[in-house]
Chains A and B, each alone.
Chain A
Amino acid sequence: MSEPQTKHKSPYALEVRGLTRSFGSRKILSDVSFKLKRGEILIIMGGSGCGKSTLLRHIIGSLKPDAGEIYIDGTEITKLNDRELSNVRKRFGMLFQTGALFNSLTVGENVALPILESSDVSASIADLVVKLKLELVGLTGFEHLKPAQISGGMKKRVGMARALALDPELLFCDEPTAGLDPVMTAVIDTLTVDLTKKLGLSAVVVTHDMTSAFRIATQMIFLFEGRVIASGTPDEIKNNPDPILQQFINGYADGPIPLKLSKDDYLKRLMQA
C-alpha cells in the first residue's frame, strides 16, 4: 500500500538519543538512548510502571520529550509539526497495550479503517486486505463482531492486524502477547520474525514474556527506574552479570529490585484491622 521506500537516509530505522521526560516532579525517563537497525527486532524490557509505554508514546510522537532526540530513518521527529509528523507516521504500525480498537466499529471495519482513510482503494480491495491480515493473526471469520464481543487476547490480535494493515516499515508493539495462550504467542512471535526477515520490517516490542523476548529479539534493552541499565544482543543480556537484570529475566522474588511491598504478615494486619 505504501510506496516502496527505495533509498534510506540512515542505516538505522530508529535512533533515540538522551530522551528525558518528567510528569510533574516525577522523572519517568532519563537519558534513554538506543539504536535499531533496519530489519531487526528490539525488545524493551522492564518492570511494570518503569516507563515502557511512555517511551513508545514518545517514539510515535504522541508525547514530546523534555530533552533528547528521536530519529526515524534519520529524520528528527520531536520538532516536526502535525502535518510533517503525520507523514512520518504513515510508515508506522502501532499495537497499543490496551488494543485501542474503535468500539463503535466491527473487527473488520477496525482493520479496514487505516486502509480506507489513507488511499482511494475500493471497498472490495480493502475487504480482501482485511481478510488477509485477520488470517495472519488467526482471526478468520470474526470480521463482523464488535470489540466488546471478543476476548482480551483476540482484541490484541485485531490490534496487531490493524497495525499491519498498511504494511508498515516500523512496527511498535506494546505487550503483543499479554493475555495470549502459549500457542498463539508463538504464532504472533513467528509472524513478527517473518515480517522482519521477509519484508525488511523493523520492530520495537515491549514485553514481559521472557520466552517470547529471547525467541524473537535481535537487540534488547532493559529499563529500570527510567534508565537503560543494560542493552545488547540476547546472548549479551543473558550473560550480563547485573543482579537486577538477572533477577528480572529469571523471575526471582528475592533480589535487588525494590518491590515496595509490606513486609508485615498479612494475617496479622488483618487481625489488627
Chain B
Amino acid sequence: MLAFAQLSLEAFVGIFSPIFGQKSWRLSALFSQMVNIGVASLPTVALANFLLGLVLAIQGAGQFEKLGATNMVANLVAFSILREIGPLITAVIVIGRSGSAITAELGTMKVAEEIEALNVMGIDPVKYLVVPRLLAMLLMMPVLTVLGEGVGLFAGWLISVGSLHLDPFFYVQNSIEAVEQKDLFTGLLKALVFGGVVGTVACFYGMQVEGGAEGVGRSTTKSVVTALTSMLAMDAILTTLIYFT
C-alpha cells in the first residue's frame, strides 16, 4: 500500500513537473500510448456502449409500456448512460484491454532486467515508463467515455424509433430535457478518476512483478481485479458525494 502510494505520488509529480518548467513530456511516448490505450480500445468501447444502449431501451420499454409511458424510455436511456453506464462500461473495457496490457508489458520488462537497466543508465523508470502511460489513461478515458456515451444514446434512439415507433425528434427533445449539464460533467469527472485509478494500478502491478513469466501472469490478474474493484469503489464514493450531498 505504501509502495503504491509512493509510485502514484511520483507519477503525478512527473505529470505535473513539465508545467513548472522542468523537462517536457516525452511526446512521442505519450502519443504512442494514447494510440495504444485510446484508438485501439475505441471499437470495443463503442460496441459495448451500443449494446448497453439497446438493452436499456428494450428493458425500459417493457416496464414503461405497463404504465403507458413509452416516451419515458428517452429519459431512462439518457439519464443512465450519462450518469452511470457510459463511464462504467468504458472503464471496464479499458481495464480489460489496456490496463492488463500495461501490467503485462511493464512486468515483462521487469523480468527481462530492462527496468534495472534503465536505473543503471540513470533513467528514472517512473518518468520514462509510468508517466506517459498514466497521462495517456487520464486523457483517453474521458475521450473514450464521451464517444461511448454518444454511441449508447444513439442505440437507445435506434430502438425507440425503430421498434417502439416513438417520434425521432420528440425522443431527442425528451432526452435533452431529462438530463442536466451536471450529469454530463459528473460522468466526465468519473471517467477522469477512473483513468487515474486504472493507470496507477496497472503500472504499479507491472513494476511489482517478480519471478518470470508466471509472475507476469499472476500480477496481471491481480491488476485487473484490483482495478475493477477500486474503480467500482470510486464510483460509489463519487456518486454519493455528487448526488447525496
Contacts and interface: CB of A to CB of B under 8 A. Distances in A.
Interface size class of A (residues with CB under 8 A): 20 to 34
Contacts of A98: 112-113
Interface stretch (A24-32, A110-118, A196-204): A110-118
Contact of B122 (A57, A89, A100, A103): A89
A224 interface: no
A89 B120 contact: yes
Interface residues of B, number: 14
Interface string B25-38: 00000000000000
Contacts of B116: 57, 62, 96, 100
B123 A114 contact: yes
Contacts of A96: 113, 116-117
Q: Is chain B's binding surface mostly helix, strand, loop or mixed?
A: helix
A76 to B, nearest CB: 18
Nearest to A93: B120
Contact of B123 (A97, A100, A101, A113): A113
A105 to B, nearest CB: 10
Nearest to B120: A94
B99 to A, nearest CB: 19
Interface in A82-108: 86-87, 89-90, 92, 94, 96-98, 100-103
B10 to A, nearest CB: 10
B232 to A, nearest CB: 32
Interface string B103-134: 00000110011101101111110001000000
Interface in A48-101: 57, 60, 62, 86-87, 89-90, 92, 94, 96-98, 100-101
A87 B124 CA distance: 12
Top 6 nearest A-B pairs (CB, nearest first) are A100-B113, A100-B117, A114-B121, A94-B120, A86-B122, A117-B123
Given A102-B109, A114-B121, 7 more contacts: A90-B122, A96-B113, A96-B116, A100-B116, A103-B112, A114-B122, A117-B123
